Amino acid sequence: MKIILTGSLGHISRPLAQKLIAIGHTVTVISHTAARADEITALGATPAIGRIDDLDFLTATFTGADAVYLMITNATGGQGDLFTAGKRQATTYANAVKAAGVQRVVNLSSVGANLGPEVGALHIYNVIEGVLTQELPGVNLTFLRPTGMFYNLFGSLQSIKRDHVIYTNNSLTKRGSWVAPADIVPIATQALTAPQPGVTSQYIASDERSYTEIASILGQALALPDLKAVQIDDATMTRNLIAGGMPAAFTTQYVKMLAYEREHDFYADYRAHHPQLGPTKLTDFAVTFAQAYRQA
């Protein structure tokens, strides 16, 4: 098969490209950075250098493909309205898919995509799923809904070093669901090469842990027995993130997302369609986290 991947050489797209090439498929990787071309070629893939908001570029790149893998990348650069940007990008993707005649699409969505604006930043995935579903009738369309990425915990490296604390406005005791990119790859591969017909969605997860459990597991890996998770209020969380460099517009929606998870049954649909958990556990990620901690 000829398969097109967006996402450049990110956490998922790189190992996904490697997997697809290893089993004999022809892969093109889209990147907006020309410097990535040699690295993409070294993987055995074909680089396509251009912007994902360029309809003509996408149409040309998608033409002749058996399947395309779509994801949203830095929709607004942290500025402007997140949901407007998501709708605009989804529309561009849909128009390129239609113009190129592609019949198989896999979209990297997210847990929370079933919810509305009340879920904050994750609502962008509801917007994107809605546009693609409406605009691509007759296309085999698979929405992958991974849960929270383990690597998001790297955002707490500084506070762990400084205070031996993971700060969050989320609940400390509710168990959240987490996933490793490596556990997304085989499911994305299956969706691209042997999809179910019609419009389908699938949750992907590796482990289920509360912030209290996360602090305990990371504390053991870091030899920091006093490492703890501390709940802070929404306003303090917002100030901390902005002070750390997160753009204000995105921060507002991100904090709203965590507050919704704290106060509501965020995982109801996830539980109703509970996936088989992947093999990578938080204890495995803790080894990687400890390496990053020592190097930071």
Dihedral of alpha carbons 47, 89, 203, 65, sign: negative
pLDDT at 159 over 90: yes
Residue-level pLDDT at 73: 81
Residues 15-58: pLDDT tens digits?
A: 999 999 999 999 999 999 999 999 999 999 999 999 999 999 99
Residue-level pLDDT at 79: 57
Residue-level pLDDT at 76: 45
- Determine which helix (DSSP H) or strand (DSSP E) holds 203, and give its type and residue range: strand 199-204
- Output the CA–CA distances (angstroms, integers) from residue 259 to 38, 75, 238, 253, in the order listed: 43, 22, 11, 10
Average pLDDT over residues 170-197: 97
Q: Give the model's confidence band at 77: pLDDT under 50 very low, under 70 low, under 90 confident, else very high.
A: low
Helices 234-243, 248-263: axis angle to 10 degrees equals 150
| 8 A C-beta contact, residue 1 and residue 25 | yes
| Cα torsion through 53, 55, 58, 59, rounded to 10 | 170
| 8 A C-beta contact, residue 247 and residue 79 | yes
Residue-level pLDDT at 235: 98
pLDDT at 75 over 70: no
Residues 203-234: pLDDT tens digits?
A: 999 999 999 999 999 999 999 999 999 999 99
| 8 A C-beta contact, residue 100 and residue 66 | no
Q: Give the model's confidence band at 189: pLDDT under 50 very low, under 70 low, under 90 confident, else very high.
A: very high
Residues 123-157: pLDDT tens digits?
A: 999 999 999 999 999 999 999 999 999 999 999 99
| 8 A C-beta contact, residue 176 and residue 7 | no
Residues 244-290: pLDDT tens digits?
A: 999 999 999 999 999 999 999 999 999 999 999 999 999 999 999 99
Residue-level pLDDT at 110: 98
- Determine which helix (DSSP H) or strand (DSSP E) holds 220, and give its type and residue range: helix 211-222
Rounded Cα gap, residues 103 and 53, in angstroms: 20
249 burial type by CB count under 10 A (0-12 exposed, 13-18 middle, 19+ buried):
middle
- What rounded mean pLDDT belongs to the chain? 96
Helices 82-100, 55-62: axis angle to 10 degrees equals 40
Chain CA centroid to CA 202, Å? 14
Q: Give the model's confidence band at 195: pLDDT under 50 very low, under 70 low, under 90 confident, else very high.
A: confident
Least Cα distance to 177 among 150, 200, 202 occurs for 150
Contact residues for 38 (Cβ-Cβ < 8 A; gap 6+): none
Average pLDDT over residues 94-102: 98
Rounded Cα gap, residues 112 and 269, in angstroms: 8
Residue-level pLDDT at 64: 98
Dihedral of alpha carbons 178, 81, 143, 92, sign: negative
In our burial notation (b when 16+ CB lie closer than 10 A, e otherwise), range 195-222 reads: beeebebbbbbbbbbbbbbbbbbbbebb
Average pLDDT over residues 160-179: 98
| 8 A C-beta contact, residue 166 and residue 154 | no
- Output the CA–CA distances (angstroms, integers) from residue 51 to 31, 154, 175, 263, 274, in the order listed: 7, 28, 38, 38, 35
